Structure 1
């Protein structure tokens, strides 16, 4: 049983049992992650009729995503997992978008693009073969007019499904794949940084 959380583009929380998504709540609002995340977690557990004690794995979407929103979801996933003494599995958020497209029947090369703000975008490229989607490049950050792979089918995602994120985690487990990233994929430095040492003033 999985609890999956993604805040890389909006906020999405889901409970899944294997391939079956039992409950999912999502919003495309990119400004209120912290305000809605707790209510969403409680809500999907209630919708699914699943107590927290039945969750065996917590899945965290690692982005790419803007710093403030992304860290809310990852912190919530880690805190929830700590509270119930369960492991956290990290998944690239774009992989969930690619899996949804593959599940809907798409095949061939695919480019997943999400908003990075500051007039930039995040992108990842995939090969959707008959077996599963395979990421071939990215995640990366660039200006909108610098996005590569113009010949690929492209999807500009405004939401990452936590249910699909859980299915990616299951697919990785079944294939014995290890985590690629254990740290958030901000792909740029945060706005707030620690100040450097004071400059010496020459008298």
Structure 2
């Protein structure tokens, strides 16, 4: 059964190695005590940015209200459009308190544009940067959509096109008490002709995703901040060598 978003898990798969950036100067969210929606964060507004599939920028308020949602599906023009998208989002939310950034999986060129933009923006505004796996944002959108329609969401995989006859996928099974997707398999690469068999073994429904909602990236960050949790580190999930290494069994990104 296939849906318009998508998923997988394998043997003979590949794992992402994290490509490190210098993040020391970037403000980090403070640990514990005063999350989004608590007294320590009155008027919280989060800018969400993702460039793993196309380019998207959004702004949400502390209660999840979407203040701006800008996107471009141009997979090759990230640098050309991201500045305009961010400017338009800031017209609706001129004083953001946090920046949430989708960390991939995604291609090197596109992903680094979004991450560099988010990092520079956070540094310039002296506000915290919150990393979020891009597949988590897609998964949250699926779960919220089903909740709104009263539909039970089975175990599912978010699947994105990794090109070169491969898919990237992460597996999810429900939503936790913090309102965040329960990720049971981290981002993995699979040959296209092996994906469906792997999904069948996992008992997971496949959701093919062609884009990432920056609003969902921001909402995932808001919920993680509220719970005092980190969803990801500051290392991007790039799709290609030298960031991908061969493996004989599924491995989690670490």
Q: 1:64 corresponds to which residue?
A: 105
Which of 146, 153, 161 is residue 107 of structure 1 equivalent to? 153
Is 1:174 matched up with 2:222? no
CA contact (8 A) 2:199 2:206 kept: no
Cα distance in 1 for partners of 2:194, 2:237 equals 20
CA contact (8 A) 1:140 1:187 kept: no
Q: 1:91 corresponds to which residue?
A: 132
Q: 1:44 corresponds to which residue?
A: 89
Distance 1:108 1:129, change over 3 A: farther
CA contact (8 A) 1:107 1:130 kept: no
SS of the counterpart of 1:108? coil
The gaps in structure 2 that reach 5 residues or longer are 1-44, 147-151, 244-254
Greater RCO structure (CA 8 Å; 6+ sep): 2
1:147-158 to structure 2, matched below 5 A, reads: 147=195, 148-150=198-200, 151-158=203-210
Q: 1:136 corresponds to which residue?
A: 184
Q: 1:10 corresponds to which residue?
A: 54
After TM superposition, give the deviation of residue 130 of structure 1 in Å: 6.8
Cα distance in 2 for partners of 1:175, 1:74 equals 24
After TM superposition, give the deviation of residue 21 of structure 1 in Å: 1.1
Range that drifts further, 70-79 or 122-131: 122-131
Distance 1:129 1:40, change over 3 A: closer
CA contact (8 A) 2:52 2:134 kept: yes
Q: Alignment RMSD, CA only?
A: 1.6
Q: Per-residue displacement from partner, 1:84-127 (whole Å, max 9, x unpaired)?
A: 11111100000011101110125220100011111211100000
SS of the counterpart of 2:183? strand
TM-score, scaled to structure 1:
0.87
Q: 1:24 corresponds to which residue?
A: 69
CA contact (8 A) 2:162 2:239 kept: no
